[in-house]
Amino acid sequence: MPDLSPAREGAPSDLIGALRAVQHGLWPRKEFAQAALGSTINGYVFHLGLALVFLGYAPHIAFVQRLSGLSWPPLPDAVMYLAAGATIVSLLLAVVSRLTNAVLRKISTADDLITWTLVMLPMLTGMSVVVEPSLAILARDHVTYPIPLAIHLLSVELLLIWFPFGKLMHAFLFVFSRGATGMRFSHRGVQL
């Protein structure tokens, strides 16, 4: 149902309200920042590491180029190995925290562990495929280790199958949900 009430005096536009809410949600409120510092940093390490591995590794870029024609310069292999290692450590820290913290354990569901497993599998199987520099992999016209690569691709496909049904959809939906909340709040004059 549309909100027919007039906006509060001095309220920002809907777009500004939405953008402020998205930006505001990227860090915990100051009252909780100290207590949530570890999990916040771990979350950033995980998300940034995963993005670097997915978008910066030369064989991944070549795969996207074969499918879509899009291409961009890859990051150095050393950066990829560091990002993959940091992402794996971050995932391990997250699951240990979830299993050892009484509150997190109580609010955890099967979805959390399934999602964790299906994100960890491509990371581990991807690292098991890396046996030589990415430029050497790309220089060949055939795959020299088809079974590990097939297992890696299957683990990615499992992740993609689960993606729309689990909590992983937050990767896309968080912008829309925070934006809608920000639009409603700014219309009513709430300061974020």
| Local mean pLDDT, 10-residue blocks, the chain (192 residues) | 75 86 86 88 96 94 92 94 97 96 94 95 94 82 85 96 91 90 85 74
Q: Percentages helix, strand, coil for the chain, rounded to the nearest 5?
A: 75, 0, 25
Contact 111, 117 (CB under 8 A): no
Rounded distance between C-alpha atoms, residue 87 and residue 177, angstroms: 26
Question: What predicted TM-score, i.e. pTM, was given to this entire model?
Answer: 0.84
pLDDT the model gives residue 89: 98
Supply the pLDDT for residue 188.
82
Residue 44 in tokens = 């950033």
How far apart CA 155 and CA 112 sit, in angstroms, is: 17
Residue type, 170: H
